[in-house]
Amino acid sequence: MRHLILAVLLSSALVACTASGTPPAPSPASAPSGVTPNTFTLPSGGGCAGEVARFQAVMDNDLATGHTTKGVHERVSAEIATARATCAGGNEGAAIAQVNATKSRFGYR
């Protein structure tokens, strides 16, 4: 008898756990906090302009998802702006080197 009562209680507990259903899926444009949304895409483009745009997009995403602080984002974005100006001035090699140095300094690959 004791086994029957235990089985009924366990069955009831399992039904209660699954009766609430599954939570609704997040909308495609939003993602849980700390997760990159599935709508995120890296900018295309070659050369230094593409490198600068992609790194800025990564930094903006890291700020939006809470993977970096506003202060770090501002410092990195200022360095990216310098690389963008170097690139616009026609010095592709130096601009890419600046982006790579910033990535290294802040722990990006």
How far, in Å, CA of 41 to CA of 97, rounded? 23
pLDDT of residue 35: 87
Q: What share of the chain is helix, strand, coil (3-state, %, to 5)?
A: 65, 0, 35
Task: Say how far apart CA 100 and CA 106 lie, in whole Å.
Answer: 10
Please identify which residue in the block is written with the tokens 């235990």.
Answer: 6
CB atoms within 10 A of CB 83: 25
Q: How many structural domains are present in the chain?
A: 1
17 within some domain:
no
Mean per-residue pLDDT pooled into runs of 10, the chain (109 residues): 49 48 52 81 96 98 95 98 98 98 96
4 located within any domain = no
Q: Residue 79: give the domain boundaries.
A: 48-109
Q: What is the pLDDT of residue 17?
A: 47
10 in any annotated domain? no
In this structure, is residue 11 part of a structural domain? Answer: no
Q: Which residues contact 34 (CB under 8 A, 6 or more apart)?
A: 65, 66, 67
